[in-house]
Chains A and B, each alone.
Chain A
Amino acid sequence: MSNFTRRSFVKLTGGVAALGLVSMPSVSAFAAAKKRVVVIGGGYGGSIAAKYIRMGDPNIQVTLIEQNKDYYSGPLSNWVITGLRKLEVQKWGYEGLKKHGVEVVIDQVNAIDPAAKTVGTVGGKKFEYDRLIVSPGVGFKSIEGYDAEAEKAMPHAWNAGEQTTSLAKKLQELKDGDPFILVAPPDPYRCPPGPYERASLVADYLKKNKPKSKVIILDPKDKFSKMPLFTGGWKQLYGYETPNSLIEWIPGAQGGKVTRVDAKAMTVYTEMAEFKSSCINIIPPNKAGAIAEKAGLTDDKGFCPVNLETFESTKHPGIHVIGDASAAPGLPKSGYAANSEAKVCAAAVVNILNGRPVGIPSYVNTCYSLISPDYGISVAGVYKLNAGKIVEVSGGVSPGTAEDTVRKQEAVYNESWYQSIMADTFG
């Protein structure tokens, strides 16, 4: 090193530069062939994005980072609570995605650096990306008294898995005559008809097993998704609005908003009353999953504003947010919408990385709910983007009155919908 003169250093670096120039075209050709996409979260949104990017351009390297080895589907998990299904059939793994050439990493992301375009994990790994897709699902805003301990005593069961079986157990152990208390969240939240499907199926369970009990829904809202269909079904099946109704819905206008919970006393408080039971299901107000918030992707409402053509964040370029975490006015926070958003995002990312225009999006939502095991209802929508807004060009809910066979068919389609969308997601 001592005889390393300035001149030879210049010559050396010049030489390296020349070498660099020579090898540059092949390096950049290689780099162009191997653009890197990192996807955070392997649910209804993230898994689809990863798979459809690989289907759209197998030259793109896709890494999916998911914190859990197994995925438990939220859709149809209400059936598990009342024993209609086992949790096991809600469980899916990542072998299918690996067959599409997706690199699956089981780890938790704890840092996103939008400037350096890197993602860091709890496991100490670091991933570079050209495009990042964030699909973390939802987290919860606080309700006074609803801490980690309370979450165990009063499960939300709004992320499927242990929480689902915990609520199922509490329902089983409920004393005939005691109420099942369901605290519904304010808009916007994951799965708009979900709390009301849950109330319906619990009422079906109570009717058969604990006829002296009833469901009390404490709701900050005055209306909800598929409301006339739900209340119509409740009247038909559960004596809704009669003195013996198996479901009592207390809307916001009648003081349904819960302000505080006490897990030790197993009591929830509204502004004017208190409700006590051994079986309380709290679905707290939703917000985007923690990593989205940490990465500065959320707005003051707690969700992530995006460009609806690409689902690229309006806060950090190069990062896309899909699924329940995104704020996509016009689309519901449903599993199907997450699937649809993921495909729009995947196509845009493939086009962007290939230097093409992003393309025109098309979105669909299809969502089934059960009012009883033989009574299914649905909502569907087809959407186009026009003048920067998502417009529903067709769709709507099941008819208000229909023959029993139609309701039964929709219940059957519900299960098949699940099988198909899971095959699309994990197959």
Chain B
Amino acid sequence: MQRKKIHMLILAGGLLGGLAFSTLSQAADPPAAAPAASAADAEKAAKEAAIKAAIAAPPADAAMLANTCAGCHGTNGVSGGPAMPSIAGMPAPYLKTIMADFKSGKRPSTIMGRIAKGYTEEETALISDFLSKTKWVAVTSHPNSQMATKVDAAKAKKGKKLVSDQKCGKCHEDDGLTQDEDTPRMAGQWVDYLIIKMHDLSNKHLKIPQPEKMQKAIEKLTVQELEDIAHFYASQR
């Protein structure tokens, strides 16, 4: 009861306050509504101009830029978290493409799209070049994480057969070790990340950029089969 009263009081106060304000501002300046709106517009325009100017400002150096990624992707791109991909030592052209696709929205994401939009092409190139020169560490030997990958040998064995049957090695050569501008390294990647990513790739509604034959192969696989494949690639070094 007490609270309700107070609430009403505050509401009345707010209304009164609003009234007083509009009366005052009308007295001072007859077309009161218009300046208020344009003040907000001006603030918005100033904010947009500040963002534009900041984007146009010279980029930081490669290490400064790339080190900001480490909070999620680990120091020098060696991830410590099972759902976050390691990106250390990946080819610069591959990283540039992925970042451009995140930025344009071509590649769907939960958070990377919001982040990729913050970098110019020049900055993305600096980040990609920096990370392409860092050293890959297979997650099975990751020294820091509390969640060191436990690769399931039985699943990895089934995965090995699936990879062979599906002819994954035609592109993902050397059991996922080979990488180039279109192909990420998978040997020694985190199990959880591989599962999440393959699951996304198998969902054609997400329209993730990928070769047609990859899409056709992956969409036929069951969740269990994807998990087996993930364990196989993670077990490699």
With both chains docked as a complex, state the minimum distance between the C-beta of A92 and any C-beta of chain B, in angstroms. Answer: 9
CB of A165 within 8 Å of the partner chain = no
> B118 near A382 (CB under 8 angstroms)?
yes
With contacts A363-B68, A412-B192, A417-B72 taken as known, whether A380 is within 8 angstroms of B60 at the C-beta atoms is no
Q: Chain B residue with minimal CB distance to A411?
A: B83
CB of B184 within 8 Å of the partner chain = no
Q: How long is the Cα–Cα vector from A340 to B67 in the complex, in angstroms?
A: 8
Interface 0/1 of A412-426, CB less than 8 Å to B: 110111111111101
CB of B183 within 8 Å of the partner chain = no
> B54 near A413 (CB under 8 angstroms)?
no
> B55 near A384 (CB under 8 angstroms)?
yes
- Which of B1-9, B20-28, B173-181, B224-232 lies at the interface? B1-9
Residues of B within 8 A of A421 (CB): 71-72, 80
Residues of B within 8 A of A307 (CB): none
Q: How long is the Cα–Cα vector from A394 to B103 in the complex, in angstroms?
A: 10
CB of B75 within 8 Å of the partner chain = yes
Residues of A within 8 A of B3 (CB): 254-255, 272-273
> B196 near A386 (CB under 8 angstroms)?
no
Q: How long is the Cα–Cα vector from A424 to B70 in the complex, in angstroms?
A: 7
With both chains docked as a complex, state the minimum distance between the C-beta of B169 and any C-beta of chain A, in angstroms. Answer: 28
With both chains docked as a complex, state the minimum distance between the C-beta of A232 and any C-beta of chain B, in angstroms. Answer: 16
Count of chain A to chain B residue pairs whose CB atoms are closer than 8 Å in the complex: 172
How many of chain B's residues have a CB under 8 angstroms from any CB in A?
51
Q: How long is the Cα–Cα vector from A285 to B196 in the complex, in angstroms?
A: 41
Q: How long is the Cα–Cα vector from A359 to B142 in the complex, in angstroms?
A: 32
Q: Chain A residue with minimal CB distance to B61?
A: A359
Among residues 348 to 367 in chain A, which have CB atoms less than 8 Å away from a CB atom of chain B? Answer: 359-364, 366
Q: Chain B residue with minimal CB distance to A348?
A: B64
Residues of B within 8 A of A360 (CB): 57-61, 64
With both chains docked as a complex, state the minimum distance between the C-beta of B152 and any C-beta of chain A, in angstroms. Answer: 19
CB of A72 within 8 Å of the partner chain = no
CB of B74 within 8 Å of the partner chain = yes
With contacts A393-B118, A413-B110, A418-B81 taken as known, whether A384 is within 8 angstroms of B54 at the C-beta atoms is yes
> B80 near A380 (CB under 8 angstroms)?
no
> B84 near A420 (CB under 8 angstroms)?
yes
CB of A259 within 8 Å of the partner chain = no
CB of B34 within 8 Å of the partner chain = no
Q: How long is the Cα–Cα vector from A4 to B72 in the complex, in angstroms?
A: 69
With both chains docked as a complex, state the minimum distance between the C-beta of A88 and any C-beta of chain B, in angstroms. Answer: 9
With both chains docked as a complex, state the minimum distance between the C-beta of A320 and any C-beta of chain B, in angstroms. Answer: 16
With contacts A366-B72, A382-B119 taken as known, whether A423 is within 8 angstroms of B58 at the C-beta atoms is no
With both chains docked as a complex, state the minimum distance between the C-beta of B230 and any C-beta of chain A, in angstroms. Answer: 14
Q: How long is the Cα–Cα vector from A255 to B10 in the complex, in angstroms?
A: 10
With both chains docked as a complex, state the minimum distance between the C-beta of A169 and any C-beta of chain B, in angstroms. Answer: 24
> A362 near B60 (CB under 8 angstroms)?
yes
> B118 near A417 (CB under 8 angstroms)?
no
Q: How long is the Cα–Cα vector from A422 to B145 in the complex, in angstroms?
A: 8
Residues of B within 8 A of A410 (CB): 110-111
Q: Chain A residue with minimal CB distance to B82?
A: A416
Residues of B within 8 A of A396 (CB): 114
CB of B115 within 8 Å of the partner chain = yes
CB of A347 within 8 Å of the partner chain = yes
> B81 near A417 (CB under 8 angstroms)?
yes
| Given A272-B6, A419-B145; 9 other pairs, CB 8 A cutoff | A254-B6, A254-B10, A255-B6, A336-B71, A360-B58, A378-B111, A384-B57, A386-B53, A394-B119
Q: What are 22 residue pairs bridging A and B, where the CB atoms are less than 8 Å apart in the complex?
A: A254-B10, A255-B3, A255-B6, A360-B59, A361-B60, A364-B71, A378-B110, A380-B115, A382-B118, A383-B118, A391-B50, A391-B54, A392-B51, A393-B54, A393-B55, A394-B119, A412-B192, A419-B82, A420-B84, A423-B75, A423-B81, A427-B144
**5 closest A-B pairs by CB:** A382-B118, A416-B81, A423-B80, A427-B144, A394-B118
